[in-house]
Amino acid sequence: MINSSEIDAVMCTTSDPYHEEYVLASIAAGKYVFCEKPLAPKADACKRIVEAERKAGKKLIQVGFMRRYDEGYKQLKAAVDSGKYGEALLLHCAHRNPSVPDD
């Protein structure tokens, strides 16, 4: 599917050990990639991915960190699910906390 001309971008949400394989395949196919954190479980794998992206000549990779356990995000999810404010059409979430708790 990664090589399909009908696919513009890939979301890599597999188990961590498979990130490198699928992200590298996506880069080789010239696709943009959104990869859940971590980019790869080992530093050398991350380095291979970054080198492949550089060789491709353009920025293709974005790594996402989902904050689903953050208290503010849990409150937002509950508000959206409740429909209290109507149907959500777009959410833009950004972390601006000056610090975070250890957990």
Q: Are 23 and 49 in contact (CB under 8 A)?
A: yes
Q: What span, in angstroms and rounded, lies between the C-alpha atoms of 24 and 61?
A: 10
The pTM (predicted TM-score) of the whole model is 0.66
Q: Roughly what angle, to the nearest 10 degrees, separates helices 43-56 and 19-28?
A: 10
Q: Is the pLDDT of residue 103 over 70?
A: no
pLDDT in tens, 30-62: 999 999 989 999 999 999 999 999 999 999 999
